Structure 1
Amino acid sequence: MVKKNNMILILFIFIFSTISYANGMTTLLDLKIEERASNVTLDEIWKTIPFKLPYAAKVKISIEATARDNGHADDDDIKWALNKEEFNWGTENAWDGRELMGKKKKVVIERSLLSGEHKIHIWADQRPTLHTVKIEMEIKEDIKGPNIKEATYIKNIGVRLLWDSVDKIKNYVVFRKETKEKNFKKLAEVSAPFYMDAFVDANKVYDYKIGIADSSGTVFGYSNEIKVELIEKTKVSVPKNIALNSSGTTVNITWDNSPEKELSKYIVYRKKAESITYDKIDETTKNSYTDSKVVENEKYYYAISAVDTSNNETDKSESNLIEIIFKGFKPEGTVSVFPEKLYPGQKAIVYFSPRRSKEIRKSRERGRRKDPNLSLNPEKIFFRYGWNGWDERYLVPESDSPEMTLDPESKYLVAEVEIPYYATQLDFVFFDELGNYDKNWAKDYHFAIEKDTIKPEPVPSIEITSKNKMLYIEWTAPRDPDVKNYDIYRSTSKDIGWTNPNNLVARGLTERVYRDTNVESNKTYYYRIIAWDYSGNQSDMSDVAEGIPTSVGVLLNDTCVWEPEHPSVGDMLKIYYVEDRGLLKAPKDLKIKVGVNNWDDSKIPIIHRPMLYDKVYGAWYYEYLIEDATNYINVAFSEGEKWDTNGGLNWNIRVFPDTTPPAKVKGIVGESLPNNQIRIKWDANKERDLAGYHVYKGKSRLNPTLLTATEFLDMLNIDEGILYEYNVTALDKSKNESEPSLIKVLSLKDVITLPDFTFTASLSARKPIRLIASTDALYNWKMEIMSNNGKIVKTYSGVSDAITVIWDLRNEEGEF
């Protein structure tokens, strides 16, 4: 007992146990400080360490420091706070020189924090040393960086980097290193997905990568690495002096011819003024090119590169901007067609002047002899057209011939048609509302369609989904509108085999999906795709995509299959119908009929449900939860009127005894309570057929009946200060029991009684009191200081076996 100025201080220490977990962490901050405090006061913050979390997460904070006894002088002390949570002087999470005697001590805490800004504040007394501060953050998801799609060296300018944007990311960090360097160095932070690195040297090789970051610049994901060689390998020079001129909707491009004998060809590129990247439009062996596929009132840039006989391409030589200004088309004569050159995929405008049509006028003059009131000017003109010499396969019925409309500017009647990709010639005639024709004096009108010589762009991306002995391949289409079909090549090597015709596994695909079932499980396969247009132009091969078929999962080798293959009660059974193998071919909607135990509906009703379509497998499926007392599941399928009942036998899926135990119980914690009680809690298992739990102490089961709750209170035979072992197991409805989950809990001891002691001190002097206690082991403890009227004036807590508290004589309200 302590007496001082009519106050009696009564100290109680309570013992209880704790347990903590940590996993899946990444380092957010790792500071090597190694600084000793000097000229600090107790009330002033010595160090502030800010940090920022990109998302709400669990953090682990580790601080290492040294505190000294300092002999007869005041000892070193450190306390600290995380945001508003303080770890006060003399607690387990603080540093006390009398206790440490110059030794290092590491304090580790774990907390769950919200996203955003946080701060660590550190106070020092005397001259302790702060060594390190480390903050680790829980990884909640794998944040992937962007994909670098271009890294191009532009001579005398720099390296241009372009990458795919990442959703919800506004800050990108550009990193670079030379080949001889080990580590990447930060170049810049940008908000748009491109960057020009102007600080490069010729004849060097650089590696680049792009990081994604939050607003503070903390990087959380990286792109692929890409190498750029600034070493000229081509045997020809970059084309020079590009000149542009336009005529209508045609651009003529010329440039100086490259003098080198190793020249193989030139590549012509084009982009719109607002675009970042160039698109390849053609190749030529001449030093000129005519582009007829431009649009009026658009602005374009062109670029030319040269290719040597070893297929090495030079940098692009860029042109000035050219604007296509179209001043209007002026039709002439009876019939005109715009544009003058027609290409597949374009729209053609046909102009017709009825008053200049001698054929129709002559026919109406003949009609006027019979009907004097007949006008020589037709009321309506219809446009009758076809393709490729009136090929019957593409002939538009006469009844569908569109009526021509008046163009007020030219005073001609006009009709617009879209040129299909199979067209080589446009054929047409005209007729009026009386059926009088203008057939160009029996020769009809024919306009040639130019051959498309521009190859499609490569397929931009391929995605592969792995299944059991199958790879599902889907891809995005090039931007070209005239793509007709695709070829797929497959190789077992990433770098070779692409010119081998035996590696062509699919030809002429019109859908952008392919299921490759001629594969082996756990073996790597590589794929590339070629696009073809209607004019027979072939794209370059796509980039390589790879996939590895698995050895697990369902095989769709019959009309009706299911997974798991040997289902049990409580399983979610997935039932497939493979239409390629069944009677119901390509139904729009498919329904399943499900019953149990030879269609016995006395306990479980027979159901009719719509099925869903799995695009990867190319099959219909339905998920069915297997209930108790099910021995067989009976299945049939219908598309409405027609049924597939497996020849009247139906499909009968056997339900096997369940021998698989539930998962091991997780999240188990123990808590010692007063009055000789211990509470055990755990996380709920997620099995659909879960029945309940058992709790064991030692080898004895505590619960007489199965528990359905996720906690248990043990009140029997608990002695103070004893370490008890508990195990919790989960049981399913088939009475399978999981492996035990162990937790050790130390029961509370009785209140520790301190010997009475007295001291003399002046309240007016306000000197702090050091209170010391010790225990026989490491315990969580709580100390309550009470006045002589029994009121608690101050509370301390911590974890240690040597308890030291410095009390400044203030109560919880800060009053003396």
Structure 2
Amino acid sequence: GEIRIPDRAAILIELAFHDTCDLDAVRLRDSFWTSGAMWGIYKGICQYFGTTPTWGFYSSEYVSDTIPSQLAPGEVRQVSITLRNRGVVWSEAKAFRLGAVDDSDPFTTETRHTISGEVAPGQTYTWTFNLTAPSTPGNYITDWRMVRDGVTWFGATVQKTIQVGGEPDTQPPSAPTNLSATAVSPTQVNLTWTASTDNVGVVGYRVYRNNTQIGSTTGTSYSDTTCTSNTTYTYEVTAYDGALNESARSNQAVVTTPATTDYIIDNPQATFTGTWSTGTMSVDKYGSDYRYIGTQTTETGTAVWRPNIEVAGYYDVFCWYPQGTNRTTAAPYIVYWNGGSQQINVNQQTNGGRWNTLVSAKPFSTGTNGYLKLGNATGESSLVVMADAARFLKVGDIDTQPPSVPTGLTANAVSQTRVDLTWTASTDNIGVSGYKVFRNGSQIGTSVSTSYSDTTCSPNTTYTYKVSAYDAAGNESAQSSPAVVTTPGDTTPPVISSVAATGQVGGFKVTWNTDEPATSQVEYGLTTSYGSLTPLDPTLVTSHSVTVTGLARRTTYHYRVRSKDAAGNESVSGDYTVKTK
């Protein structure tokens, strides 16, 4: 229907382009087409009241320019032209550009300058480009106008006559001063500086980060929004004029961005195993989508959210999921932190669309060792486990200060196989939990007191000991000064026991034992002077056996056994007799 109010205009508007039915929605989402419809309404109202429209479908209005009136031969000057859109939306996608009139210009071969983004009706747009003066002095005209390539030229013409002659501007601006940098967030640094001066005029400033240009500005401030958390940056700024003379660099401003302490990991950044589906329909999701998998009695799928912690501390861990009646009532979330873990079963049929606390104030070290895991082994049937987002929020500082270094370390070799150590206790801001003992660079044990006995030594061996202290947070001190000790050598011969002999035809067999590994040898003869010696068996054993052959039959022989340990200490048994057969 149409409503008419006496003495007032009434308009019934229906927006539909109707090239084809499937294009209606496309056109309505296209800003060029909708702005065309707006202009059509504007024109219709003007016609209704018998008024000529001020602006056409394609229209532009001159605002300003920085084109100079004079240039030296061969001089390069950066200029700008600013126009206001008075018609439909401009964009590069629709071939709207700033063009050199007649597609030529004596100052440049670049006759088209494009638009970034869109310029809506009423908005202004500034093109910045370089003009290079001809080498021959004289008066030259540069003129520019809006064009929709392939359709029409339109709007105001920016025309300037430039006198080419004289000497070019070769003097750079003064260097910017008082550059300061402020890290306002983990990813943003704000810069400010004092303006430069120039004999003609400063056009703008170039911003450098770690010696690489990252941007430019016409003012005396700049925001770098491309930073990384917990990172140190060095900034410098230069000024340049219309002739593109660039100043020396400003003073350096060094800044470190703060570390991230609040980590939100959405499901696209999580790691999945098994077959998960992607959903978008739930309105209480985090971000644009979520994952889900059917419940099982055994685990067939997992999701892991793993932050890269920059600052060690105590963290709260949260989960986010879209709720529903087909969700599990016992989603098995497991949080892993520095030195522990905990499983929390969550009912995903309620409390969806928000951060739900899983654990509070758990210690997380730097790096990626801590994480959140979710599986689908709930034991339920015909339900799904939802995996959406996780959050790790630092709520407290963790002890990062190590104890002091232990002092006064002494080492005493109390036996061939034992060294006793003592030292002076360390101190710590919270408390020393214990000490690590190192021998020749390798840890061999720990102690909660200020002493330690190393019972794994070898005789006649030199050892170097050091000790470090550690606290409950795992902070470890540097190692103490070394204590060097040599264990005494072995001077004790082996003890011989259980000597026995068995007569054999023309010989005999002797057996005996020693209390430590030793060699084997037998002395024998018809008297206690012996006179004969079996070949030395150098094998170090504790159970010995030697057979003597080539003797007279049915004769009594004297014998004794000899054994020597690894240190060269030798034992000789008493005299024994045996009769051959």
TM-score tier, shorter chain, comes to: under 0.3
Greater RCO (CA < 8 Å, at least 6 residues apart): 1
Structure number with larger C-alpha Rg: 2
Structure with the bigger percentage of strand: 2
TM-score under structure 2 normalisation?
0.24
